[in-house]
Every structure is written in C-alpha cells, then in structure tokens.
Structure 1
Amino acid sequence: MEKKELEYYKEKLLKLKTEILNNGVIRRKEDLEISSDDLPDEADIATAVINQQVTFNMRAREMEKLRNIEFALQRIEEGTYGHCDECDDPIGKKRLENQPWADLCITHAEEREREENRFKKVG
C-alpha cells in the first residue's frame, strides 16, 4: 500500500477513534444507575433493566470497535496494514473504506463469522 493511502486510512481511523471517545457512549452512566425511588412497580424495573442491557451492549460494541481501531493503527506502524492476518493477501479497498479496522480479507472474515455463529448455536 502506498504511503498516501496509509496516511488516508490513518487519518480515517484517528477520526473514528475521536468520535467514539467523544460521543459519550463509553462514559454514559444514566442508564446504568437504578434509583429505588424511581421504581414503583415491576414494569419500571423491567424498563430500567432493558435500558441497562442496551447501554451495556452499545458500550461493548464501541469498546470492541475502539480496540480494533487501535490494532489497525498499530498495523499501520508495523507496515502490515491492509493485509489479511490469515493469508497475507491485500484486503479489498471497498472493505477498508467501509471498515478501516478490518484485519481479514472478505473470505476469511466470512469464515470467522461462520465459525462464531456455529459456536453460538452449540453453546
């Protein structure tokens, strides 16, 4: 990958990282706290629990994306960015444009997804 392309993806990754850190999902606390004064009945408790779960899920997704962005930035520094971790083939430009933290070519990404889905069904 050319230096100009690497700089483009590095800037894109840094922008995404900044957006995640500044959007507040990771630091949001209002849905994580339940006050006993605010919960007069079971329906309110259920709503609060659902809101907590949604917040946990959003936070987990954002944290995972942030980790992947950090790994992608590290791969840029190491000179391995844009190549599949499994087969070392170049990752498609369209894939990197949509998911600049991608570490697998589409073939291996689909294979990993099938494996993960299979384990979810078994477990």
Structure 2
Amino acid sequence: MEHITSTPTVKAPVERFTGDVYLNPIEAPTEPARLASALVRFTPGARTNWHSHANGQTLYVTDGVGLVGTRDGNVARISAGQIIKCPAGEEHWHGATDTTLMAHIAMVVGNSDGDGTTWLEPVTDDQYAQAVNSKH
C-alpha cells in the first residue's frame, strides 16, 4: 500500500487550455496499468482545447457547473456528481461555464505511447459563447 497525502497543484499548460486551469495528478500510467487521472479545476470561462483520446475519456464532476462540447455541436451542461463518457477518437472540449467554477476528475486509459491524448486547436470565443448560450 502507498498512502499519498497530497500532490502539488500545477497550472495547466497554456498550449492546451484557455483561461486559468489547475491540475493535481492522481495517477500516472505505469506498466502494466495504463490509467491516468487528475483533478482538474477550471475558473469561470476556462476550458480545454479541442482534443481526443485514443481509448476515450471519463469525467467525474466534483464541484461547480461546466460544459462539454463536441464537433457536431452537442453541448452537455454538467454539475457535481455527474459523469460524462467521451468515446474513443471523439473530438471534444470541456470547461467551466462563464460564471461558475467547475472541477472534475479526468480519467483516461493510455496506450504504449502515453495517455493517448491528441491535442488540437483552441476552442474559439464564438464556439464557447454558443455553448454557454445553447439549450442543454
């Protein structure tokens, strides 16, 4: 057994996120396990870039209210206790609403090349505004 009392909070890389986002790693993929997980905290208006995961991604919301958007225009409003599953290869983004913080535990099953995430371009302000104003 290993008891980890805390992990350092780091600011998320600006190349992959818009706004202020903070990460606390939970689990890094180590053979033979391939689970990567982190607690991710988004300030109002903050969000990921578009991205996809080779083996999909599961998000468990721990606090606040957020949004998850897909390329086809679907938007889900998410809140504490809810789970979102993004299938393998689906391009999506997630983040806080424009007025509320959101925190989630992000979980991905990696592959032999790492966590299997493909990072893409930022979500534009127009795309984000459409998601905020959409009927969920």
TMscore range, shorter length: under 0.3
Where is the helix percentage greater, Structure 1 or Structure 2? 1
Greater RCO, CA 8 A, separation 6+: 2
Q: Which structure has the bigger radius of gyration?
A: 1
Where is the strand percentage greater, Structure 1 or Structure 2? 2
TM-score between the two structures when normalised by the length of structure 1: 0.23
TM-score between the two structures when normalised by the length of structure 2: 0.22
